[in-house]
Structure 1
Amino acid sequence: MVTTVNGSLRDMARRIEHHTTSPHSAELVFGAMVDETYLRDRLAAIGGNNAELVTYSSGGGKTSYQLKQGVPAEHLPSMAKSLLGGDLVIQRVESWTEAGHTGTVEVTLNGVPGRLDGTFSLVANGSGSKLVLDGQVKVSIPLMGGKLEKVIAEQVIVLLDKESEFTSEWLANRA
């Protein structure tokens, strides 16, 4: 979004705060989220076109990975379709730390000069857990940036909800 402050233009990122809940403990959910098999299963189920686990490393209480996900052009708003000229390709890098069950995420999109940056925290929530994303979406396109930030934020929320549902089912099938 572009806001006028004291007669000058100032770019602002769109904040995104979202949480999902799980009936499973934070330890179980964290264990899944840093498990290579789980990541591959999740991508196969909900990763979209040409989804893949690009990189994966784990050791010393830290896990990092890069995911590539795709959204077919026919599932995108017309504004996004015209900008991209085809399918949306999402590059997502996550780094997780076992101590505290926290993580960071960086998301870039093909053909879009912008990104999403955020932090994750996974905490106990009664007998289950809650995953919280606190981040921001920034798209540097005059006049369209704010609209695209809104679309991206909405799509991230939909994706996180789908991933949460998948995680709960994946864990339930392994209990």
Structure 2
Amino acid sequence: MPKKFEFTAVLDHPAHDVHAALIDERYWRDRIAGSPTATVRIENPDGPGTLRVVVTERAEPADLPALVRGVVRGPMVLERSDDWGTLGADGATGVIVGGATGIPVDFRGTSRLQPTTEGTVLAMRGEVTVKIPVVGGRIEGLAAKMIRQIIEKDRAALAAWLTR
């Protein structure tokens, strides 16, 4: 059974600036610059003001939680795709989709970037599914926690990018 997740990040920057960063190729290249195992591919699927970014990162078994190491054989490659639409008066919508090699895990979610009087709220909700008998549900919980960590790293990188 899929595990649902929901996260909210608050940024002290206007929605226009946050959206501009999220659709800026330089932001995404800077975002992964510190990870020697990550790559990024950038596309503009629906024209100006939109962006699709595909981030791929490799994790060695020793870097994974023990429960996952017991299931994964060899390195795990996680790929996620973030799609951002144009910014309107009420905000912008994004979609995140991902999965991994070495373990049958898939996740999908929607993001909503909304302006507030103090800055911007970035809310994400979705679900993660791991198709492994017996331990799949426990790994789904770990995967949801890992997605939360990725989103928090994205939020911190975005805040740092916007304050430079």
Of 69-78 and 124-133, deviating more is 69-78
Runs of 4+ in 1 over 6 A off after TM superposition: none
Say if 1:43 and 1:69, in contact at 8 Å, map to a contact too: no
Say if 2:38 and 2:57, in contact at 8 Å, map to a contact too: yes
- State the match for 1:90 in structure 2: 78
TM-score, normalised relative to structure 1: 0.84
- State the match for 2:22 in structure 1: 33
Q: Could you give the per-residue CA deviations for residues 68-114 of structure 1, whole angstroms, max 9, x where no partner exists?
A: 12334333111111222233321111111114311101011111223
TM-score, normalised relative to structure 2: 0.89
Q: Distance in 2 between matches of 1:24 and 1:72?
A: 36
Q: CA deviation at 1:172?
A: 0.5
Q: Distance in 2 between matches of 1:134 and 1:115?
A: 14
In the TM superposition, 1:1-175 aligns within 5 A as: 12-45=1-34, 48-57=35-44, 59-99=47-87, 100-173=91-164
Q: Among the aligned pairs, what percent are the same residue?
A: 28
- RMSD of the alignment, in Å? 1.6
The total of aligned residue pairs comes to: 160
**Structure with max Cα Rg:** 1
Q: Could you give the per-residue CA deviations for residues 1-46 of structure 1, whole angstroms, max 9, x where no partner exists?
A: xxxxxxxxxxx2110001111111111111111110110000113x
Say if 1:21 and 1:130, in contact at 8 Å, map to a contact too: yes
Which 5+ residue runs of structure 1 have no aligned equivalent?
1-11
Which 5+ residue runs of structure 2 have no aligned equivalent?
none
Say if 1:24 and 1:128, in contact at 8 Å, map to a contact too: yes
